[in-house]
Amino acid sequence: MTAATPVSTSTSALTPVRTRFAPSPTGYLHLGGARTALFSWAYARHFGGTFILRVEDTDLERSTPEAVEAIIEGMQWLGLEHDEGPYFQMQRMDRYREVIAKMLVDGTAYYCYSSPEEVEAMREKMRAAGDKPRYDGTWRPEPGKTLPAVPADRTPVVRFKNPLDGEVSWDDVVKGTITIANQEMDDLVIARPDGTPTYNFCVVVDDWDMQITHVIRGDDHVNNTPRQINILKALGATLPLYGHVPMILGADGEKLSKRHGAVSVMDYPAQGYLPEAMLNYLARLGWSHGNEEVFSMAQFCEWFDLDHLSKSPAQFNPEKLAWVNNHYIKLADNTRLAELVRPLMEKAGADFTSGSSPVPDLAKVIALLKERANTTHEIATAAMLFYRQPAPDAALLEQHFNAVADAIKPALTDFAGRCQSVEWTKPALAAMIKEVLAAHTLKMPQIAMPLRLMITGQLQTPAIDMVLELFGREVVLERLQKYL
């Protein structure tokens, strides 16, 4: 076999574009997987191609239906819709067996009767001789070679007849040209003694059958690629382009793990992140378009190419994700935010049906608070003051009201009187407060502080005129009456 011709890197040459996301359902959808899915999805969208979801569930011990659910749920939350699938490898067993049978007939695969002990012994011998351990080819048929007698009572594995000479080379769209000598590679077991196909083989048959044009995946699969290419070639398949995206690392340069915060995509909605923020953030992990930091998915799909994928690992930065989330919170529709925030507040004991008095409109409260919130949880925490009975701290009330009641009480009484008739809008309330201050020669904090305490129970609130407007005339008067 001669050296492989490198595959062209021309990204639009292979049309129609067909990409896939091929998760193994052994856990949740993690950030690295979501990013790979995003890149594959965006690439298909960029070229008007097809994005396929394929569940690689052949590892029966580690795959669970819950993990399949979790992955699909994560993809749905992100809005990464697949055009085909989900295909399940466990439902394609007949097809893999069919291809294996054909390869046995064609002579690109062979039965190997070496026992695991024998294989281990030959590997040990090679190790001792300082060679790379590999299968020694005992059962590999060659012209003119006589194979050993088939041992009784032994079920064979099927091995792929890897080329002995030459090399495999591909132009990785991320890493550049990668070349591996065929001598480095074993005759891979493609079917176990019970006939079940092995991992790399299933991937190959799927990529072939599903006519995948671009394989974008994590660089933990680089070592599988030369084996997969050799099998694809033996099958006479057109080779896809490969792009191996570097890992996502934590800020400390270590592989991303729980220590760095949430690694499951679905932990993010639970922590108050918006899907568009997550997508935008993930898009920038290992890909760039000039200095653009915030962009829509439509924009991303238009820009996304394989030429600007980074060769070096991206670092996960939770502060930047929070910043991006704040950006999208500010843009988000307040009614939508209210739907996200409301259950969080209910859990925290917010009262949205406070007796007969009306409660402030949550969407309006959110409009006031969201500017400074990095998550919907932060909005919920800040919004609580509008939905619970005030319980001002006695010491603060003493300081800001009782101890200075001689000066302050007449002004507050005046304020409450004017509240009966003032137009209940922020500007009218602001003007009215100014008049009260002037009439009683007081400064803003002298009246704003006790008002905040009496109405909200706390000293830290948004601007008092805004707070008053949101609570409404009825609630404000009701709460002031207790003190005046």
Interface with ligand GLU (CB under 6 A): 22-24, 56, 203, 217, 221
Q: Is 91 exposed, middle or buried (0-12, 13-18, 19+ CB in 10 A)?
A: exposed
Give min distance, CB of 22 to ligand GLU, in A. 4
Closest to ligand GLU by CB, 71 vs 466, is: 71
Q: How far is the CB of 67 from ligand GLU (least distance, A)?
A: 11
Cα dihedral across residues 74, 80, 86, 88: positive or negative: negative
Q: Please tell me the distance from the alpha carbon of residue 147 to that of residue 288, in angstroms, as a whole number.
A: 56
Q: Which of 394, 404, 477 is nearest to 440 (CA)?
A: 404
Nearest-5° angle of CA 365, CA 368, CA 369? 90
Q: How far is the CB of 201 from ligand GLU (least distance, A)?
A: 12
Q: Which is nearer to ligand GLU, 24 or 182 (CB)?
A: 24
Judged by DSSP in three states, 14 sits in: coil
Q: Are 21 and 42 in contact (CB under 8 A)?
A: no
Going from the C-alpha of 287 to that of each of 47, 48, 174, 183, the distances in angstroms are 18, 20, 10, 35
Shortest spacing between CB 86 and ligand GLU, in angstroms: 13
Q: How far is CA 123 from CA 119, 139, 145, in A?
A: 6, 15, 22
The answer to whether 244 and 174 are in contact (CB under 8 A) is: yes
Active site residue 102: no
Tokens representing 341 are 């925030």
CB of 80 to ligand GLU, least distance (A): 15
- Give whichever of 59 and 81 is closer to ligand GLU, judged by the CB atom: 59
Q: Which of 258, 347, 443, 482 is catalytic?
A: 258
CA distance 257 to 270: 18
Q: Which residue's CB is nearer to ligand GLU, number 70 or number 340?
A: 70
Indicate which residues carry an active-site annotation.
Answer: 258
